[in-house]
């Protein structure tokens, strides 16, 4: 029999629709029944591509004995953390406070008034792995709820009150961000850098692309070659590792080992976007074709496998197929040789590190690149051009064979926030890599969100099968606004700047904390949860406050708006105490702070109609790594929409009938130039 989740739009909730557990989706109906029957609420939070969520479902939620306990004594609620990040955010804080750690599936038991008194993550049905069994936990809570319900309620309320007080204490700070904090964060990352395999720390190893783009900014400011090498080394090792899908492209979530070899195999949209951005910026900084090619590969995967027909992008692909994680992606040596033949197959196996024994055991292999290309070519006496042709043909053949396997499921909901990240990546990639097609796809995605998920001036969070749901959260406004700004700078279509300005204004109205500064995770008017709070720490994605800070600063510079600049400075102050205490946990915020610290470049191309020089100038600016620049192209005409938004452009005009470029630092402009070469000299100076 199906439960209530059968009617849900979320793929994750639908995965539990056939459970014997009498699940409710998060909503008033569940909590009203809990109040009426005076039962505790069992809350389980996960997402559709979560490996341990699937394990707990199979072990416990498909079990009749667990279901019997939950159905008789609890009101059970399932939440997709990607649909309701506010619910996840609130109760993850509780779990971290009670246990010192967090993760998914997130397991919470709380009162009918949503006050939590128990928290954890994965629990097996019966005690094992040194973990208590879920059945034992449920029975213990039933007993205490019956005997000492008031004690549990007081415990929960005390916990919530303490967390609320801690939030106020962290955010109430007269401090400034310390002047050398950017350098301190870079030193912290340098100390944790794995010099052999790249990345930071040991296993499990996460990409953390916003830390890499932060380090590129510290390199650009300091010129420290070791910092640039640290970024380049990490990006090369990830591209060579099993965390990168060597056949179908795109990045898996993270590596379970320190070598980037064996990944957790889910593919998330936000990872594709943030890593593509990192590779694009690394290409701008170094000119290395490997980084450009990797960005192209990520875009190839995303546009081929994760794009909706309407132009927007799906959320994720699962790690599992046929109930086994990674089964779709791994290979035995005999399989490859059987498909390609002994001679070619043996070469491909050596190239991708495939052995009889297997790097995952049981003969199974994750494809990776154990050798540098020149070493491999020398070993086998191969010509580079001919080998690359053979390699590409073999890759396509193996990919065609892989496509005949049972493919992992796809979570095809559309999230405004993650689409904003991909729009940014495509827009920056389109500019830096001269990829007009990428810009077209960024436009399609942005236009979809603006047409389908912006209703009466307010954004919504999720679109699925024609259904728009959940008023947007801070991340939606911040990430999508960033995407619009990047799309504007790449295309110079003033429409996207107008939309970014309006959404930024709406974001400040909905989320700004008038008392202490900073932006709440959910709208100020949302009183549904016992904990709302603000987030500045950068996790798998940058925090909404970090991205919003940079958006506000970019808009301030583009439109010469001092009020917006002061807003951003207030935001920095509101989180200064936390950032000063642990700067390397706030790298996206520090990237915004680096922009604020300047010098900022305003680059204005005053174009003459029909003159091809303007396009060449625009292209050259976008090829360079200039992290504190804004780029505007004015036609100098009375009906120019950009002039209406940025009146100061009125005096930036062509020179003697020629397209002219104005390079300004902190609004102090050098003499205009009329050639690409002169512009390049002004932009790069002695560094070139």
Whether 340 has a pLDDT exceeding 60, the answer reads yes
Tokens describing residue 466: 């024609």
Most distant CA pair in the chain: distance in Å?
88
For 532-576, write each residue's pLDDT tens digit.
Answer: 789 999 999 999 999 999 999 999 999 999 999 999 999 999 999
Closest Cα partner for 669 from 653, 687, 656? 653
pLDDT number for residue 687:
47
Whether 152 has a pLDDT exceeding 70, the answer reads yes
Q: C-alpha dihedral over 210, 214, 215, 216, to 10 degrees?
A: 100
Angstrom distance (rounded) from CA 140 to CA 60: 17
* Residues whose CB is less than 8 angstroms from the CB of residue 71 and which lie 6 or more positions away in sequence, other chains included: 20, 21, 22
Which of the pair, 163 or 251, is modelled with greater confidence? 251
pLDDT number for residue 668:
87
How many helices (H) and strands (E) the chain has is answered by 26, 20
- Residue 630: in which H helix or E strand, if any? strand 629-634
- β-pair partners for 519: 512
Residue 688 — very low, low, confident or very high, per pLDDT cuts 50/70/90? very low
Whether 639 has a pLDDT exceeding 70, the answer reads no
Q: C-alpha dihedral over 125, 129, 132, 133, to 10 degrees?
A: 10
Closest Cα partner for 411 from 6, 5, 10, 7? 10
Q: What mean pLDDT do residues 265-275 have?
A: 98
pLDDT number for residue 497:
97
Whether 180 has a pLDDT exceeding 90, the answer reads no
Other beta carbons within 10 Å of 130: 5
Residue 525 — very low, low, confident or very high, per pLDDT cuts 50/70/90? confident
Which of the pair, 166 or 285, is modelled with greater confidence? 285
Which of the pair, 474 or 650, is modelled with greater confidence? 474
Whether 418 has a pLDDT exceeding 60, the answer reads yes
Residue recorded with tokens 């295309």 = 491
pLDDT number for residue 166:
80
What does DSSP assign to residue 461? E
**How far is Cα of residue 153 from the mean position of the Cα atoms in its chain?**
36
Angstrom distance (rounded) from CA 387 to CA 376: 10
Q: Where are the alpha helices (DSSP H) in 21-133?
A: 28-37, 51-56, 64-73, 85-99
pLDDT number for residue 306:
98
For 127-137, write each residue's pLDDT tens digit.
Answer: 988 899 999 99
Whether 638 has a pLDDT exceeding 90, the answer reads no
pLDDT number for residue 173:
52
Other beta carbons within 10 Å of 131: 14
What does DSSP assign to residue 624? S
CB 644 within 8 A of CB 663: no
Could you tell me the domains of the chain?
4-171 (3.40.30.10), 188-305 (no CATH), 329-404 (no CATH), 601-687 (3.40.30)
Whether 319 has a pLDDT exceeding 70, the answer reads yes
Q: What mean pLDDT do residues 291-302 have?
A: 98
pLDDT number for residue 643:
86
Sign, Cα dihedral of 34, 37, 38, 41? negative
Q: What mean pLDDT do residues 195-219 have?
A: 96
For 327-339, write each residue's pLDDT tens digit.
Answer: 999 999 999 999 9
Whether 6 has a pLDDT exceeding 90, the answer reads yes
Q: What mean pLDDT do residues 379-400 have?
A: 96
């Amino acid at each position: 029999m199906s439960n209530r989740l059968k009617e849900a739009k979320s793929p994750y909730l639908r995965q539990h629709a056939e459970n014997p557990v009498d699940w409710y989706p998060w909503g008033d109906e569940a909590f009203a029944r809990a109040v009426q029957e005076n039962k505790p609420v069992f809350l389980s939070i996960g997402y559709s591509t979560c490996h341990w969520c699937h394990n707990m479902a199979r072990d416990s939620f498909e079990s009749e004995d667990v279901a019997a306990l939950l159905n008789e004594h609890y009101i059970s609620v399932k939440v997709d953390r990607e649909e309701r990040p506010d619910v996840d955010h609130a109760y993850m804080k509780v779990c971290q406070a009670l246990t010192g750690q967090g993760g998914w599936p997130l397991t919470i038991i709380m009162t009918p008034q949503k006050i939590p008194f128990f928290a954890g993550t994965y629990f097996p049905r019966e005690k094992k792995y040194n973990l208590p069994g879920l059945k034992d936990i449920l029975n213990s809570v039933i007993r205490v709820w019956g005997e000492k319900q008031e004690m549990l309620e007081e415990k929960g309320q005390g916990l919530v009150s303490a967390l609320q007080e801690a939030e106020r204490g962290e955010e109430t700070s007269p401090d400034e961000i310390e002047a050398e904090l950017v350098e301190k964060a870079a030193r912290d990352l340098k100390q944790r850098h794995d010099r052999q395999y790249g990345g930071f720390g040991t296993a499990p190893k996460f990409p953390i692309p916003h830390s890499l783009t932060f380090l590129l900014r510290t390199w650009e400011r300091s010129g420290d070659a070791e910092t640039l090498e640290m970024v380049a080394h990490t990006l090369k090792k990830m591209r060579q590792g099993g965390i990168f899908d060597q056949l179908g492209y795109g990045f898996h979530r993270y590596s379970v080992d320190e070598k980037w070899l064996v990944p957790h195999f889910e593919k998330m949209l936000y990872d594709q976007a943030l890593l593509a951005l990192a590779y694009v910026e690394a290409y701008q900084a170094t000119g290395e074709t490997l980084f450009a090619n990797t960005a192209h590969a990520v875009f190839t995967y995303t546009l081929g496998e994760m794009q909706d027909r309407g132009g927007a992008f799906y959320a994720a692909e699962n790690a599992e197929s046929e109930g086994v994680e990674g089964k779709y992606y791994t290979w035995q040596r005999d399989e490859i040789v059987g498909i390609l033949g002994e001679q070619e197959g043996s070469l491909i196996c050596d190239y991708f590190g495939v052995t009889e024994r297997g790097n995952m055991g049981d003969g199974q292999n994750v494809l990776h690149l154990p050798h540098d290309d020149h070493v491999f070519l020398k070993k086998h006496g191969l010509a580079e051009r001919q080998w690359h042709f053979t390699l590409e043909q073999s890759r396509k053949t193996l990919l065609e064979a892989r496509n005949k396997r049972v493919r992992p499921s796809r979570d095809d909901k559309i999230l405004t926030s993650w689409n904003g990240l991909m729009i940014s990546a495509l827009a920056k990639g389109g500019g830096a890599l001269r990829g007009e097609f990428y810009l077209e796809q960024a436009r399609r995605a942005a236009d979809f969100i603006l047409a389908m998920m912006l209703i009466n001036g307010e954004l919504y969070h999720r679109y699925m099968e024609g259904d728009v749901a959940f008023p947007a959260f801070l991340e939606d406004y911040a990430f999508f606004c960033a995407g619009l700004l990047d799309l504007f700078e790449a295309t110079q279509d003033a429409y996207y700047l107008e939309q970014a300005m309006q959404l930024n204004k709406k974001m400040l109205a909905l989320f700004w904390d008038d008392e202490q500064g900073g932006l709440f995770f959910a709208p100020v008017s949302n009183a549904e949860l016992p904990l709302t709070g603000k987030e500045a720490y950068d996790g798998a994605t940058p925090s909404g406050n970090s991205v919003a800070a940079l958006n506000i600063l970019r808009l301030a510079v583009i439109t010469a708006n001092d009020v917006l600049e002061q807003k951003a400075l207030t935001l920095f102050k509101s989180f200064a105490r936390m950032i000063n205490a642990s700067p390397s946990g706030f790298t996206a915020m520090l990237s915004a702070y680096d922009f604020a610290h300047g010098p900022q470049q305003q680059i204005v191309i005053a174009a003459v109609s029909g003159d091809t020089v303007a396009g060449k100038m625009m292209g050259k600016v976008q090829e360079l790594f200039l992290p504190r620049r804004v780029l505007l192209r004015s036609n100098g005409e009375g009906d120019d929409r950009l002039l209406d938004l940025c009146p100061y452009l009125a005096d930036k005009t062509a020179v003697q009938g020629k397209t002219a470029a104005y390079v300004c630092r902190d609004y102090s402009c050098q003499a205009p130039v009329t050639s690409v070469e002169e512009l390049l000299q002004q932009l790069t100076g002695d560094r070139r």
